[in-house]
A and B are shown apart, each in its own frame.
Chain A
Amino acid sequence: MEVDKGKGEAEETRKVAEADRDTVTLKSSDGKLFEVSKEAAARLSTVLAGMIAGGSIDDNGTDLKQIGSEALENVVDYCNKHANSIPSAALISSSISFNTAPFKEPEEWERKFVDRLSHDALFDLVEAANFLGMERLLDVTCHKISEMMKGKSPDQIREVFNIKNDYTKEELEEIRQELAWAFYDD
């Protein structure tokens, strides 16, 4: 679960296990600290895996200036939940092909995890997952967004996601013509 530690607590953790801690501390753009399982972080995020392997993890809190505290909290929450949800033997065999495996439907807990998020939180999480190279989290969040888009017209999509229609009437007509030109209608 997410650990939003105060400064004192974080320092204490650092003292306890300087050399081989099994967690890493991440710092959001607004300066909040979060602790996440090192194993899960390395497995789920190519960026964090690179930082851990390259020794560029700061025990005082690795700066992630692009990610706000709410999104980082969700990232850390996801990593920790993920670490708990899969038996470790399965992890080892599946970790090699993780990034190239075809998309698997979200599991029940992943579905619940994204369902409780607001639109903004969901998009912030996509951005954070993108920045951290978290393919599975991207799949799960994007899947949720695409479900929200399903069966909607372009007008409805603009409305739901608060997107401004920046086309002129003429341009839109031209695009429609182009789409209609297809010999097989979808």
Chain B
Amino acid sequence: MYYDSSNQKKIVFGTDPCNIFIVDPNNIGGTTKLAFSLNNVTTIGECRRVRGQPPSMGFFEESLAPVGALSDNAITFASPRMRAWSEVLSRLSARTARRLGQVCRGWRAVIKNEHFVAAHLYRANLSKRLHMVFFSDGMPYDFEPVEKYISSPAQDVPPPLIDSRCTIICSKPCHGLNVWSFANYDFVFNPAMNYFKALPPGNTRHWEDLVDTISFNDTDATMFAGRLGLGYDQGSSRHVLVRLAYRERNLTTRHYEMVCNMRYVKDMVWDEVDPPPRPIANMPPTRPTHVNGKLYWMVDTELGQRSPGLEIIELDVSTRKFEVLQGPPCGRDIGEHMSINELQGMVCVTCSHRTMGIIRIWELEDTAGIMWSIKYDIELEKFSPEFSR
């Protein structure tokens, strides 16, 4: 969900492979618009495709949130003049503010202050404008406001990256940070600030040892779309990473074994926690979704015990406990494709009916009582069925 230049609410969604659609929620059915496609276009711009890896894209927020070092909160906003400057700086873009750290110690202290970062994040993203980050060869390389592509006639400004396969899994922004996964690599990053950090794969082996041994075209079972989640613990004001991996995944016997690790972004070590009570689905557009301090995954219906209805896994990032929630009444028909999303601060399951040519968005109204309601039906019309995933 974003607001366009005239502050009109719009829903933006991507389909596999890499098409971006825009819908006016007040006028569903009539105005589905293909904003642009990353298909069938050759490489543009300075995109480097060293290993021929497919590019991808995601959305991000304006933020100064650090991916590593702790913010220094000892510094003062004691003088009224410095408080005035902090007001000015909090209204600048993240990159400009960061660059202005060169001016003097006081300014640098301000932009590194945790409270300032939080205030800046809030202010900079009030408009709910979307920014996009494009990836090439597993690395983010271009950052653009969505409107650059949406407002202009479709073919004039092609997006900088194109490919038919999305093997980069980029999360939605969560309090100013994103995570992305590429082959066996995981990263946490702040696109607005160009901060990014590779995450060591686990406690047992060092990251450096692994770099040389990983094959880029690895289809290892640990690489699945839901494996890396990013949440935000409101209580401690810290970003939390959740990593899931399959030790075993046997579709014939339906036997599986999962491991789950969690850590704060700022910490170095992963803690092993009890794995979720259900297998996590690997559907490429399905990333764990973060809403209000909780992460949500779809359950894999091809593993473990068969369940009568669709199920969803919820993780409370502060208590580190998983719960199973009953999903909306869909997903049992052949030709349906589902993913879990966040829309206007609510958990949503989008269910694409290939044959009917509609994408139905279910909203979880009440997490305690589990009430699902149909929020929107988006008719794909001429875009169906080839874009209905």
A residues sitting closer than 8 Å to B (CB atoms) are 66, 100-103, 123, 126-127, 130-131, 138-139, 142-143, 145-146, 149, 154, 157-158, 163-167, 172, 175-176, 179, 182-184, 186
Contacts and interface: CB of A to CB of B under 8 A. Distances in A.
A183 B81 contact: no
A184 B194 contact: yes
9 contacts: A102-B3, A127-B80, A143-B91, A146-B88, A154-B102, A165-B103, A165-B104, A182-B194, A184-B194
Given A100-B126, A127-B81, A145-B88, A186 B95 contact: yes
A19 B105 CA distance: 51
Interface stretch (B135-143, B207-215, B263-271, B308-316): B135-143
Given A143-B91, A184-B142, A103 B127 contact: yes
Interface in B1-22: 3, 7
What class of interface size applies to chain B in its complex with A?
Answer: 20 to 34
B101 interface: yes
B83 A130 contact: yes
Contacts of B87: 126, 130, 138, 142
Main secondary structure of the interface of B (DSSP, over half): mixed
B334 interface: no
A103 B128 CA distance: 11
B126 A101 contact: yes
A184 B45 CA distance: 13
A146 B7 CA distance: 24
Give 8 nearest A-B pairs by CB, closest first. Answer: A182-B194, A102-B127, A126-B84, A154-B102, A102-B126, A127-B80, A142-B88, A186-B95
Contacts of B104: 158, 163-167
A142 B102 contact: no
A102 B143 CA distance: 21
Nearest to A143: B91
A139 B106 CA distance: 21
Nearest to B107: A163
Contacts of A172: 102
Given A103-B91, A127-B80, A163-B103, 4 more contacts: A101-B126, A154-B100, A166-B104, A167-B105
A166 B143 CA distance: 33
A175 B194 CA distance: 15
Given A126-B87, A130-B84, A184-B141, A179 B102 contact: yes
B92 interface: yes
Contact of B103 (A123, A131, A157): A157
Contacts of A139: 91
A145 B139 CA distance: 36
B98 interface: yes
A149 B102 CA distance: 14
A163 B102 CA distance: 12
A163 B91 CA distance: 19
B83, B88, B108, B196 — most chain A CB neighbours (10 Å): B88
B148 interface: no
Interface in B79-129: 80-81, 83-84, 87-88, 91-92, 95, 98-106, 108, 126-128
A130 to B, nearest CB: 6
B126 A103 contact: yes
Contacts of A157: 100, 103
B86 to A, nearest CB: 9
